[in-house]
């Protein structure tokens, strides 16, 4: 492994001449474009007190490489879409999830015990579709903040008699930030005051143009209460999935994400895994976050024992030594000894990582990220006391975009900075700008914990000015 002096300088946030000077004291003569080897780079890094983690990181990645490596196109086969339902409170998310689940219950099963394991599958035209059973954007974005991108499609539920509400806007922006496909379910169509046209009109204000009006957002009228429209919604989900060509290789060791986990009195640690690629088998040795074990019993979403689970299949497993966290990645590995070893290594790494947290973008370090080329977009969340300020700030900030960096307001709303804003910022590496608002205490605490930058202003000009100078690398240090 080698890098140029220039690259090392960028990584260490030093100027090239500083690095060259330090190299000289080590007896190495090099110019900015010369390559130096890893050991030399490490010595410079150590001198300035930066952490060098190559050894450990490379080993664990190498060892997981056999399961993580890219799949050849020829090995990929179609997999079911994974769908999350989001929207404003009381617009019918839970009812819709229940109604969808019931479409699948055949007569003999009616009244049977439905298992809530955190996700379920229904058959649509003989092909499965997977739904996450926890509605809402908080769960969705907190998983994303942990690095788990499991969802393909977001169904945004809007009550036809109520229209777009604050959490609808949040849901839309969280889904957009994640880059998932959006389908709108206009729910409660059975109500006398249902007004789907008004909902569609409001959607256009958030750059979601209904298909019926020439845009690309399918809007499906449904009633979770009567079941009307649900088959059409399901078919639309499948259509959107088909155009996204979702694929995975079922013939490899499994990788999945923990979507729920708990300690069960009788069964010990129990975790619901959504398999993303490969096939998980009963008996497989696995690691999940900092837990490991051997898959003992595997149950599907109907509580039936299964021996294997392919891509996009949710299963509940037992056999882990401890309770993993939602969002943890699960990997099947060759044997249990390796699993144990990897977990010990990972725990060690996590301890180390606490001292060298992954660097979040802030206005202070923005310029060095831009010059390194690893930030091409600056996502910003704007919260203000009045809607007028949100709009004004959004427009002025986005105008600051230049060739190197695009400034993008991924969410803007009236109100205090909330937990959900911090989560979105964390997941999207965004900064939060507030006008005449404060964060709620939990939001503030979380922002500190996650290294998310919060900036508060009373004057719009000051904010624009700070972002502008930060982009140009001329921001004065915070006083
Ligand atoms: P959530 O908070 O988004 O999960 O909403 P719920 O599913 O709990 O629904 C909120 C309320 O709206 C409940 O009283 C539901 O019975 C009712 N509701 C949900 N869907 C419909 C519908 O399609 N029609 C009618 N009339 N009521 C509905």
Structure tokens at 376: 């091409």
Return the ligand 1 atom nearest residue 223 CA. 23
CB neighbours (10 Å) of residue 262?
Answer: 11
Residue 342 confidence (pLDDT):
82
Q: How far is the CA of 93 from the centre of ligand 1 (A)?
A: 7
Cα separation, 187 vs 165, whole angstroms: 14
Which of 88, 92, 131 gets mutated to test ligand 1 (max ligand atoms within 8 A of its CB)? Answer: 92
Return the ligand 1 atom nearest residue 226 CA. 23
Residue 333 confidence (pLDDT):
87
Which of 224, 226, 229 gets mutated to test ligand 1 (max ligand atoms within 8 A of its CB)? Answer: 224
Structure tokens at 209: 């143009």
Residue 294 confidence (pLDDT):
96
Cα separation, 49 vs 44, whole angstroms: 9
Q: Which of 413, 461, 457 is nearest to 435 (CA)?
A: 457
How far CA 161 is from CA of 125, 164, 210, 319, 435, in Å, comes to 31, 10, 18, 47, 32
Beta bridge partners of 77: 248
Q: How far is the CA of 88 from the centre of ligand 1 (A)?
A: 11
Residue 132 confidence (pLDDT):
94
Residue 451 confidence (pLDDT):
87
CA 81 to chain centre: 16
Q: Is 189 annotated as a binding residue?
A: yes
Q: Which residues line ligand 1 (CB under 6 A)?
A: 87, 89-95, 135, 187-188, 190-191, 223-225
Q: Is 93 annotated as a binding residue?
A: yes
Q: Is 281 annotated as a binding residue?
A: no
Q: Is 134 annotated as a binding residue?
A: yes
Structure tokens at 289: 């976050």
Task: Map tokens 């080698």 to a residue.
Answer: 2
Strands 268-277 and 255-264: antiparallel
Q: Is 37 annotated as a binding residue?
A: no
Q: Is 174 annotated as a binding residue?
A: no
Please write the tens of the pLDDT for every residue from 228-254: 999 999 999 999 999 999 999 999 889
Cα separation, 39 vs 296, whole angstroms: 44
Return the ligand 1 atom nearest residue 157 CA. 3
Residue 40 confidence (pLDDT):
80
Return the ligand 1 atom nearest residue 95 CA. 7
C-alpha count within 13 angstroms, C-beta hemisphere, residue 413: 20
Q: How far is the CA of 296 from the centre of ligand 1 (A)?
A: 38
Q: How far is the CA of 91 from the centre of ligand 1 (A)?
A: 6
Q: How far is the CA of 133 from the centre of ligand 1 (A)?
A: 16
Global pTM? 0.79
273 close to 295: Cβ distance less than 8 angstroms: no
Q: Is 4 annotated as a binding residue?
A: no
Please write the tens of the pLDDT for every residue from 178-232: 999 999 999 999 999 999 999 999 999 999 999 999 999 999 999 999 999 999 9
Residue 162 confidence (pLDDT):
97
Q: Is 104 annotated as a binding residue?
A: no
83 close to 131: Cβ distance less than 8 angstroms: yes
Q: How far is the CA of 128 from the centre of ligand 1 (A)?
A: 25
Nearest CA to ligand 1 atom 11: 90
Q: How far is the CA of 96 from the centre of ligand 1 (A)?
A: 8
Nearest CA to ligand 1 atom 18: 92
Nearest CA to ligand 1 atom 20: 92
How far CA 380 is from CA of 19, 390, 408, 454, 467, in Å, comes to 33, 12, 6, 10, 10
Return the ligand 1 atom nearest residue 87 CA. 3
| Pairs from 32-39 (Cβ < 8 Å, separation ≥ 24) | 32/4, 32/5, 32/6, 33/4, 33/5, 33/6, 34/4, 34/5, 35/2, 35/3, 35/4, 36/2, 36/3, 36/4, 36/5, 36/8, 37/1, 37/2, 38/1, 38/2, 38/3
Q: How far is the CA of 397 from the centre of ligand 1 (A)?
A: 38
Q: Is 369 annotated as a binding residue?
A: no
Ranges of residues in the chain whose predicted pLDDT is under 50: 51-59, 61-62, 65-68, 107-108, 110-112, 355-357, 479
Task: Map tokens 């479409």 to a residue.
Answer: 103
Structure tokens at 153: 């499609």
Which of 85, 88, 95, 162 gets mutated to test ligand 1 (max ligand atoms within 8 A of its CB)? Answer: 95
């Amino acid at each position: 492994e080698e890098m140029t002096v220039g690259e090392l300088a960028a990584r260490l946030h030093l100027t090239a001449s500083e690095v060259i000077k330090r190299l000289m004291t080590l007896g190495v003569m090099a110019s900015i474009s010369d390559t130096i080897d890893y050991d030399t780079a490490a010595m410079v890094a150590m001198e300035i007190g930066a952490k060098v983690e190559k050894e450990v990181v490379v080993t664990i990645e190498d060892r997981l490489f056999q399961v993580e490596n890219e799949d050849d196109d020829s090995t990929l086969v179609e997999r079911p879409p994974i769908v999350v339902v989001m929207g404003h409170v009381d617009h019918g998310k839970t009812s819709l999830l229940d109604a969808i689940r019931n479409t699948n219950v055949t007569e003999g099963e009616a009244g049977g015990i439905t298992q809530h394991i955190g996700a379920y599958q229904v058959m649509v035209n003989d092909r499965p579709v997977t739904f996450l059973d926890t509605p809402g954007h908080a769960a969705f974005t907190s998983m994303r903040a942990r690095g788990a991108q499991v969802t393909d499609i977001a169904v945004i539920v809007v009550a036809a008699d109520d229209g777009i509400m604050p959490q609808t806007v949040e849901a839309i922006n969280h889904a957009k930030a994640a880059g998932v496909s959006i389908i709108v379910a206009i729910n409660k169509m059975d109500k006398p005051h249902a007004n789907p046209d008004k909902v569609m009109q409001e959607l256009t204000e958030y750059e979601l143009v209904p298909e019926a009006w020439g845009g690309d957002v399918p809007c499906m009228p449904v009633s979770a209460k009567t079941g009307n429209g649900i088959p059409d919604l399901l078919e639309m989900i499948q259509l959107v999935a088909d155009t996204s060509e979702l694929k995975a290789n079922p013939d490899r060791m499994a990788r999945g994400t923990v979507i729920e986990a708990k300690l069960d009195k009788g069964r010990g640690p129990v975790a619901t895994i959504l398999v993303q690629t490969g096939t998980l088998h009963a008996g497989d040795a696995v690691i999940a976050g900092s837990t490991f074990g051997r898959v003992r019993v595997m149950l599907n979403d109907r509580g039936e024992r299964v021996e294997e689970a392919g891509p996009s299949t949710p299963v509940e497993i037992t056999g882990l030594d401890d309770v993993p966290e939602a969002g943890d990645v699960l990997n099947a590995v060759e044997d249990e000894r390796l699993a144990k070893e990897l977990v010990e290594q990972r725990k060690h790494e996590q301890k180390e990582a606490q001292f060298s947290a992954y660097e979040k973008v802030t206005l202070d370090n923005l310029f060095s990220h831009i010059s390194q080329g690893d930030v091409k977009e600056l996502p910003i969340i704007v919260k203000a006391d009045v809607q007028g300020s949100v709009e004004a700030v959004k427009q002025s900030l986005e105008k600051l975009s230049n060739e190197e960096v695009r400034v993008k307001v991924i969410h803007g709303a009236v109100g205090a900075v909330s937990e959900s804003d911090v989560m979105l910022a964390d997941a999207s590496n965004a900064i939060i700008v507030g006008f005449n608002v404060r964060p709620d205490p939990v939001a503030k605490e979380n922002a500190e914990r996650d290294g998310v930058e919060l900036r508060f202003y009373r004057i719009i000009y000051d904010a624009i000015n700070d972002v502008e100078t930060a982009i140009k690398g001329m921001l004065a240090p915070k006083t």
